[in-house]
Amino acid sequence: MSEEQTQQEAPAEEAKAPEATEQAAETSNSVKLNGGFAFKVGMSQIYDEKGEIVPVTVLRWEPWVVSQIKTQDKDGYTAVQIAGGGSRKVKNSSKASLGHLKKAGLSEGTRFVREIRQELPEGVKVGQEVSIESFAGGDTVKMTAKSKGRGFAGVMKRWNFGGGPAAHGSTFHRQPGSSGNRTWPGRVVPGKKYPGHFGDETITTKNVQIVQVIPEENVLLVKGPVPGARNTLVKLSKQDQG
């Protein structure tokens, strides 16, 4: 009976071999990096293990492909260039970009081409897909995004000035107030807070915690708010905990 069982089990093991090969191929076709890019969807909230509400921002992960590998010898620094964030029609892409992306196996252009400066991962190759599992729940990251543009704003909205009396004929109200000097230095000091373009600035937020990663939905949940409007491209860079 033992010989018959052995003969019956052998084909089953052989049948599993191709599946294992496919899984290994999928693993080798993706790479994990120390950073990545995702798109802001909006805010929500979830419950943690203690049953407490945690405010989170939902980030949408789009496919990213390694388009170039930069080395110290050739480029003077090490980095992984990735392309993705959505496709771009051939007619709207330059021939130079199409030729560059063709080496990564892309037939169309992409919306974004970005770099992640880091030590090169072992076995990284052009054409590999960047895995969303580069991040995991509990990781601490630094996020960089462009804030909402609010147009031209006065000093009270832009710099949180207190303003003057609102009544009794002061005629001051929301004005910036005095900005000059005496005979010396006889000029307005650079950096004086004035009305002007408010927002639309690159903002970096440090020590942000990744609450959860949902690979099947291509979604990351990070704790708290994220700069920028909906669909803003957000850069995530891992930080050392300590």
pTM of the model: 0.81
* pLDDT computed for residue 175 by the predictor: 94
For residues 10 and 231, the model is more confident at 231
Asked if residue 116 lies in contact with residue 196, where contact means CB atoms within 8 angstroms, the answer is no
Q: Give the model's confidence band at 3: pLDDT under 50 very low, under 70 low, under 90 confident, else very high.
A: low
The pLDDT value recorded for residue 28 is: 63
The dihedrals phi and psi of 103, each to the nearest 5 degrees, come to -65, -25
pLDDT of 134: 95
What mean pLDDT do residues 19-41 have?
A: 74
Could you give the domains of the chain?
35-62+131-148+200-242 (2.40.30.10), 64-128 (3.30.160.810), 152-177 (no CATH)
**Would you call 161 exposed, middle or buried from its count of C-beta atoms within 10 A (0-12, 13-18, 19+)?**
middle
Q: How far apart are the first and last CA of the chain?
A: 60
Residue 96 has pLDDT above 50, yes or no: yes
Of all residues in the chain, the percent with pLDDT exceeding 70 is 88
pLDDT tens, 117-129? 999 999 999 999 9
User: How many whole angstroms separate alpha carbon 134 and alpha carbon 115?
Assistant: 15
Q: What one-character DSSP code corresponds to residue 137?
A: T
Give per-residue pLDDT as tens, 136-161.
Answer: 999 999 999 999 999 999 999 999 99
What is the per-residue pLDDT for 241?
Answer: 58
Query: 165: which DSSP letter?
Result: -
pLDDT at 25 over 50: no
Largest CA distance in the chain: 108
As beta bridge partners, residue 219 has 60, 214
Residues 4-15 have pLDDT tens digits of: 554 554 444 444
